[in-house]
Amino acid sequence: MEKSAPTPPNLRASIWDNERLLGHLMIAPAVLYVVALVGFAFVLAVLYSLSDATTGDPSLHIVGFKNFRAVIGDPVFQKSLKNTCIFTFASQILVLILSKILALALMQKFRGKWLVRFLILLPWTAPIALGVIGWMWILDSIFSPIDWLLRYAGLLGGQNALLGPNPNMYWLGVPTLAMISITVVHVWRMLPLATVILLGGLTSIPQDILDAAEVDGAGFWRRLFQIMIPMLLPIMSIAVLFGVIFTFTDMTVVYILTRGGPVHSTQVLASWAFFKGIEGGDLAQGAAIALFLFPVLAGVAILILRLAKRTEVT
């Protein structure tokens, strides 16, 4: 008796069973979206940076690297680059430390933990513009509640007060205090995201390892530095990567609170690119300033991802 020839496999079934092909099909819409949204804008920024385009005359007349030479020699750009590095480094150090503390606290069992988690997540879920407007009142030069508390405590406004005899601190009017203020507000904004990321990492650590270390006599600090932090390094690297990218490209806090003042003391690259390119009308130099963010962020992303890969726990 002859055997019947095997029926050809169904084409649709073969596609769904091919994991590699299916993966490419699933990720294709996201790739196309990124290319359409980011790629077009990036190419347009490169063309603008090599031209003399302005808001009055947006036509592209290629002038080479003239805009980049002008931008590098601009003292405001140099100060903005310095401020961006300080702003990013200081805020991410604070976010990393505070998020670790909050994540460890939220791992404990206590009454009302859901409410605490909700309040911690609130700054990230609320519109950033509304939150920063609230901080404008908190840091107001006349009606600041922080200044009122300092005066009530005797630390401000008295002849022998620790913070000086002036009745107000003028948080957004003194260069050093203005930089501290925008850093604190940005930390307040970024802290929830980093806390959620680290909280997810802490819950993934096997409890058996921590219990065994506790039985062996390891205290809290030894478990923290020898078990928890080494196992969290890849996840902490991702949190730092997101934080650096968001901070380097953020201009909302600076724009609403200080607009780069006083005297460009809080100007960052993102805000200066906006002021120069959009409000100043020089699209070419604004695009050149913005493009300086790309190699820096690309280098940081590659470095952090390589470090995360090396610290992965298998």
Is there a contact between 162 and 215 (Cβ–Cβ < 8 Å)? no
The 8-class DSSP code of residue 262 comes to: S
In a domain, 80, yes or no: yes
* pLDDT tens digit at each of 314 positions of the chain: 455 555 455 555 566 667 777 777 888 888 888 888 888 888 888 888 888 888 888 778 888 888 889 888 999 999 999 999 899 999 999 998 998 888 888 888 888 878 888 888 888 888 888 889 989 999 988 888 998 998 888 888 888 888 888 888 889 989 999 999 999 999 999 888 888 888 888 888 887 887 788 787 878 788 888 888 888 888 888 888 888 888 888 888 999 999 988 888 999 999 999 999 888 888 898 989 988 888 877 887 787 777 767 666 54
The string of pLDDT tens digits covering residues 242-283 is 888 888 888 889 999 999 888 889 999 999 999 998 888 888
In a domain, 207, yes or no: yes
Q: How far is CA 211 from CA 9, 97, 115, 214, 284, in A?
A: 52, 24, 28, 5, 60
In a domain, 66, yes or no: no
In a domain, 224, yes or no: yes
Encoding tokens for residue 12? 């649709």
Q: CA–CA separation, 214 vs 2, rounded Å?
A: 70
Other C-beta atoms closer than 10 Å to the C-beta of 78 total 12
Q: CA–CA separation, 186 vs 196, rounded Å?
A: 17
Mean per-residue pLDDT of the chain:
83
Encoding tokens for residue 66? 């003239």
In a domain, 212, yes or no: yes
Other C-beta atoms closer than 10 Å to the C-beta of 7 total 6
The 8-class DSSP code of residue 62 comes to: B
In a domain, 156, yes or no: yes
Q: CA–CA separation, 304 vs 234, rounded Å?
A: 9
Other C-beta atoms closer than 10 Å to the C-beta of 241 total 19
In a domain, 32, yes or no: no
The string of pLDDT tens digits covering residues 74-111 is 999 999 999 998 999 999 999 989 988 888 888 888 88
User: If we measure between CA atoms, which residue out of 257, 288, 227 comes closest to residue 137?
Assistant: 257
The CATH number for 134's domain is: 1.10.3720.10
Q: Report the greatest alpha carbon distance in the chain.
A: 112
In a domain, 8, yes or no: no
User: If we measure between CA atoms, which residue out of 63, 87, 51 comes closest to residue 286?
Assistant: 51
Domain count, the chain: 1
Domain containing 93 equals 74-310
